[in-house]
Structure 1
């Protein structure tokens, strides 16, 4: 029975590790996305840092990416940036690839 218990524990550990990696990649993606949007809005370096943190925090409002997209769309529209949801989603996908690559290279 210990072999089964050991395998079960190993799978649980692997699952927890994978979930943590996904969380870190998503947080990095959101930070990069915030920096991208801040550059579009012409924010200062200090404002960019604060805005990127706000985008990361926005992701905790609900499951999925809709909360982040809603925040970016609202902020960019308010700043007078002409962008549609498809543009934000494309940037989100690009930043996802970059964040994943950064995370893999760091290991």
Structure 2
């Protein structure tokens, strides 16, 4: 597995995690999508890559009752799901897909 493959999986995991968290926060539509995209963008920005802390802060601020253990359990499940959703073949097609996704999510 290459670093690009890992980045693609992390981006996908954080998008899925963002959708889960947005639902818990009562977000829908464009708000939920923006929240999910922000978590995915954080994957490629080392200064903002601690998605667990962001979700913990957002849940606390909104009064969402979720334990750290539950958040970490969901993160682990979604990491496995993201790995299963990514193409398993190695080579340029996987690398290109991950790079394309990362570029889309990187702020310009």
TM-score by length of 2: 0.73
- Give unmatched runs, 5+ long, in structure 2: 95-108
What TM-score do the two structures reach when normalised by structure 1? 0.73
> Which structure 1 residue ranges, 5 or more long, are not aligned?
1-16
Return the alpha-carbon distance in structure 2 between the equivalents of residues 58 and 103 of structure 1. Answer: 19
Larger RCO: 1 or 2 (CA < 8 Å, sep 6+): 2
Runs ≥4 in structure 1, deviation > 3 angstroms?
A: none
The structure where helix makes up a greater share of residues is: 1
Structure with greater Cα Rg: 1
Residue of structure 2 equivalent to 1:38: 22
Asked if structure 2 preserves the Cα contact closer than 8 Å seen for 1:58 and 1:71, the reply is: no
